[in-house]
Structure 1
Amino acid sequence: MAFEPPRRLVRALGETAPAGDDWLARLPEAAEAAVARRGLTVERVQVPGGRSSLVVLVRLPDGAPAVLKLAPPRARPESERAALAHWGGLGAVLLLSADARDGAEGVLVLERLHPDVSVRSLPEAKALLEAAGTLRRLWVTPPAGHAFETVAERTGRQAVAMSADAERQPELAPLVDAALAAREALLADPPEERLLHGTFRQSKVLAGDRMPWLAVGPDPVVGEHAFDLARLVRDRVEDLIASPSGASITRRRIKRLAESLEVDQERLRGWTLFRAVESGVRALRVGRPQDGELLLEFAGWL
């Protein structure tokens, strides 16, 4: 079959593609080769799919349903594979292939979940409860000698880019300065580190058969719990911005999530600020002004 990348994937990867990157052009051929080498039967490409990888619904040689995922090197598929292997299906989608070549090729063979049913489909209070419970199961001690990026390393790269953007656009400077100050204070005295999902939100938790809800699509990082939880605070940010009480709802959400997962409330607020500003500035940088303005307005409440 033709492995045509979904439009959302083409658009998202096009925003961040380095000069000369031809991964998307080579993707159909790479997908054909991955299917043939593993003896898979293709059902269909998942549409609209994700923003960083091609997801294909397949059958294993024994007929069991599975998912084939292909991701470019900049999506760090080897890191995702290592995290999924360490979690072993506890709270996260199960890695089905132990082939060492998979990571180098940017290929993951995963258990089939229900891609159209995420925690986001639940009422907000229930969605936050289920998402938080899933996240708690992922917070484990990282493997000895791991090669995962740390929160300090990842946010350090982001801080450099944010500072450069603030120099070009001085109107961003107050929020960027506040976010950078929060990061510096948070990293000065960090709590015990755990393996984190890295990009956790409601849409990253899908319904499964083995367990009711399982996380997918990690960009794993090692650091403190509050960093992981911070992305969940701003879920459904469009609804928050549209609400006349959005700021107070956000404060209550921070309090509720911090208490339910035993995370320091002020540390959660600080990382929520940093991550919202970083995402907002990056959205402006890549030509998504509406997203950027929403995120920076949200950050202004913190």
Structure 2
Amino acid sequence: MAFEPPRRLVRALGETAPDGDDWLDRLPEAAERAVRARDLTVERVQVPGGRSSLVVLVRRADGTPAVLKLAPRRARPESERAALAHWGGRGAVQLAEDADTTEGVLLLERLHPDVSVRSLPESKALLEAAGALRRLWVQPPVDHPFETVAQRTGRQAEAMRAGAVADPEVAPLVDAALGVRGELLAGAPEERLLHGTFRQSKVLAGERMPWLAVGPDPVVGESAFDLARLVRDRVEDLVAQPSGASTTRRRIKRLAESLEVDQERLRGWTLFRAVESGVRARRVGREQDAELLLEFAGWL
């Protein structure tokens, strides 16, 4: 079978690939090796798939359905493996093999890849997504290998400052986002292992449990940082509403109360993450996404 990467993956990785990176060129051969090494039968490549990995639906030698996932080093697949191992299937997809000597390859239990929480009505989707997220917030392992929120947002802050210099129009929002980041880090509550990139489309229907999280980019920090990305889910619908700003404020209040997170800290991290994503989208030429995100951030 030809392992043709979906266009969505090619476009997304092309935006972030460092000079000389040839991971996409090597991907078909790497996928073939991973399939042969595990004696897998390929069903199909998941399309449109993710933005940082190739997802292939397979069956193991005994007929058990599974998912083969291949990701470049910059997507931190070994960090994902460590987080999934620590969660052990509690609230998240399970690893289908204990160890892997092949860099960037994960074999996972099969969920229902075409059925995410996003398919539910909005209020129900938020409720189910929040419930799935709560189960992931556990103490990180001792001497954990994960990036911290301070480290990740520190890297992002540097890119945001550069974006503000290049585009003075976004400077006021960047200043506000960086200011609130400093305040939040100064008084951060107890740290937990977080999903890192949680949103409705990252929660799939399963057999063991109704809904399970997939695709973490794990980070250690406060819960409000994780929840902040969920606040802006379906941002295009929010921006299209005349009442989008008030709906967003109600969403922050509802999510903060349901997951026992400080409302102001949630608002602050929502602002930071929206501005960071908006500046990044503008930097790589996704102008429509940038406009939506920055308008959303302006409400906060």
- Normalised by the length of structure 2, the TM-score is 0.99
Distance 2:42 2:168 in 1: 50
Q: 1:212, CA displacement in angstroms?
A: 0.3
Task: Work out the CA distance in 2 between the residues paired with 1:286 and 1:292.
Answer: 10
SS at match of 1:101: coil
Residues 181-196 of structure 1 correspond to what in structure 2 (within 5 A)? Answer: 181-196=179-194
Q: Of 104, 107, 127, which residue of structure 1 is paired with 2:105? A: 107
Q: Which amino acid aligns with 2:195?
A: H
Deviation readout 1:257-279 (Å, 9 max, x if unpaired)? 00000000000000000000000
4+ long deviations beyond 6 Å: none
Partner of 2:23: 23
State the 1:100 CA deviation: 3.7
Match of 1:279 among 254, 257, 277: 277
Distance 2:72 2:192 in 1: 26
* Alignment match, 2:69: 69
1:126-175 deviation line (CA, Å, top 9, x unaligned): 00000000000000000111110000000000000000110111111100
Aligned Cα root-mean-square deviation (Å)? 0.5
Q: Distance in 2 between matches of 1:100 and 1:143?
A: 20
How far the C-alpha of 1:97 sits from its partner, in A, is 0.9
* 1:1-302 equivalences in 2 (<5 Å): 1-102=1-102, 105-302=103-300
Amino acid at match of 1:294: L
TM-score normalised over the length of structure 1: 0.99
Q: Distance in 2 between matches of 1:59 and 1:155?
A: 39
Q: Check conservation: 2:256, 2:262, Cα contact below 8 A.
A: yes
Kept in 1, the 8 Å contact 2:100–2:106? The answer is: no
Separation in 2 of the partners of 1:290 and 1:47? Answer: 23
Partner SS, residue 147 of structure 2: coil
Gaps of 5+ in 2: none
Residue 222 of structure 1 aligns to a residue whose secondary structure is strand
- In structure 1, C-alpha distance between the alignment counterparts of 2:206 and 2:42, rounded to whole Å: 20
Aligned pairs, how many? 300
Deviations 1:29-68 (A, max 9, x none): 0000000011111111111111100000000111100000
Asked if 1 retains the 8 angstrom alpha-carbon contact of 2:274 and 2:294, the reply is yes
Query: Structure 1 unaligned runs (5+)?
Result: none
User: Following TM superposition, by how much is the alpha carbon of 1:98 offset from its aligned partner in structure 2, in angstroms?
Assistant: 1.2
Q: Measure the CA separation in 2 of the matches of 1:254 and 1:186.
A: 17
Identical pairs, percent: 84
CA deviation digits over 1:172-230, x for unaligned, max 9? 11000000000000000100000000000000000001110000000000000000000
CA distance in 2, matches of 1:228, 1:150: 12
Shift, 1:99, TM fit:
2.0
Query: Structure 1 counterpart of 2:12, which letter?
Result: A
